[in-house]
Chains A and B, each alone.
Chain A
């Protein structure tokens, strides 16, 4: 029976034809063509704003004034960069952001790692309760005002801690990390270490952590980007300009300051060489530069981290 019902060409032992050799109809080609064009246009749209900002930031004052529609500068000048870097608040914002990004990311990744490990043990008593407690925070929270009161009451208002602690352990990241630990760490490996007399702490730091490198890299990326980009915490919890992170400084420069008064124009009276527009674009470029610089290296990690970690329990 079975010999008859399976056509010879499809028999298991016959080598499978490569997918590309499958005959495609006109419709298939049309679909492929459409996808290539659609994705291509979308991808280019993602990049255009960056390119425009980048080119304009290198334009000289005269060149921009002569033709504000010009996109590609005839010669690249660093005037706008020199001027924006000469702005004290911008430099201090850069420093604050660097500190909270490095410190916050280190703390966050450490806490995520040590918390995800016990939570990944299916048989640990009380684990379900803690997981429930963490999950619930993803769907209900106290919101802005009670958080503000909390930060005030903790006495960390107007300190760098107010920029580091809120959002330090994200429930979503913790769940990704926990799933990742469960997938990558085999119990037999831990058993072997246990027989060798290692306790859970030793196992975590000398056996498990080395296996978690991709997950840790993913978490470093996510948290660093979060700390670098966040301005909400600073708006709520920090009032002294000395502690302003870069994003608040940038907001004042490029979003709020559309009336052409205050910081930008003050800079202009001091050394009136760049156009406020090119100056703003330069500020944007300096702000996103670190992210653009590490982006090519982090891509393979975050894609893998998200894909593996988002597997449901």
Chain B
């Protein structure tokens, strides 16, 4: 008897709660619907990796093929090349491109002339707002063997023109440099915000203790922004499998395909160019799963080392 009324009470109470907050829930509806349709439905769509998907039959109606697609994928020499390319490029980006914004923001922070600092910041944030198509277009045209200004200079000095974008050996360098050019300045914003939130008294105390500028960076600034660095590092590790379609695709061509084919462009070629949807989804599923596992592992390790993780 008591438990029945209690249950009824609880139901009433949650209804009252829901009713008083009905507008807040109403506001959330579009967002929840959006995330279900545009994020969770595609996750369900990944089942086509275990099917032989045909548009005419739909996702439900296509026949199951078990792990056939994965077996085929793991037996393909192309797959290992693409996997290697993706990892190599991400690894280089982590080692070379990740520290640059940290160094840059430390340097910006040490600039004593306020106007100079502001002007520099305005300039370094700008490339972030430029499309990869534009950056790719500038690269293609400046590096062109026949009319690019760099090769014209080389030819003027009597050298042989180099087809930079057509050679495998230059591709990674170009990808890394253009990535730094576009993103490094922008990424300083978060580090600079973290630096501003460091307690000023720490700097004063360090100065009184006779610390030099370099020592203050080493013992106050760097430890102060360490949590920020770790979170961004974890996110970068979680994105090791993503090389960014928009960047790679604009500087990719048939002659550098050997090193420039990464998971995103490979999936595009398989699925949208060749129409092998199930197989392309298998590739996509593989890369996002590995990425997710990497993120979880990195997060776990960070926590074991006593740092604050992402979750």
Contact = CB atoms under 8 A, between A and B. Distances in A.
B110 A35 contact: yes
Interface string A162-175: 00011011010010
Interface residues of A, number: 100
B85 interface: no
A147 B246 CA distance: 16
A59 to B, nearest CB: 12
B34 A111 contact: yes
Interface string A257-271: 010000000000000
A307 B189 contact: yes
Nearest to A45: B181
A36 B38 CA distance: 46
B156 A69 contact: yes
Contacts of A137: 35, 39-40
B43 A142 contact: yes
A115 B48 contact: no
A47 interface: yes
Interface string B1-37: 0000000000000100100010111111011101101
Contacts of A20: 112
Contacts of B144: 258
B213 A31 contact: yes
Interface in B115-140: 116-117, 119-120, 122-127, 129-134, 136-138, 140
Given A118-B25, A165-B38, A111 B138 contact: no
A152 B55 contact: yes
B267 interface: yes
Given A32-B213, A149-B48, A169 B137 contact: no
Contacts of A201: 23, 26-27
B59 A134 contact: no
A87 B276 CA distance: 35
Interface stretch (A73-81, A98-106, A119-127, A209-217): A119-127
A255 B250 contact: yes
Given A145-B48, A291-B130, A39 B213 contact: no
Interface in A125-145: 125-126, 130, 133-135, 137, 139-145
A306 B189 contact: yes
A134 B35 contact: yes
A139 B48 contact: no
Contacts of A32: 110-112, 213
A219 B188 CA distance: 19
Residue picked from B17, B181, B193, B288, most chain A C-beta under 10 Å: B193
B131 A228 contact: yes
A291 B277 CA distance: 37
Given A114-B27, A229-B130, A145 B280 contact: yes
Contact of A255 (B38, B41, B133, B213): B133
B137 A284 contact: yes
B22 to A, nearest CB: 8
Interface of B: 14, 17, 21, 23-28, 30-32, 34-35, 37-46, 48, 53, 55, 58-59, 104, 106-108, 110-113, 116-117, 119-120, 122-127, 129-134, 136-138, 140-142, 144, 147, 149, 152-153, 156, 181, 184-185, 189-190, 192-193, 196, 204, 207-208, 212-214, 231, 238, 245-246, 250, 264, 267-268, 271-272, 277, 280-281, 284-285, 287-288, 291-292, 295, 311
17 contacts: A32-B213, A49-B142, A52-B142, A111-B31, A114-B27, A124-B21, A142-B41, A143-B267, A143-B288, A150-B42, A153-B58, A168-B38, A169-B35, A251-B136, A255-B140, A287-B134, A302-B189
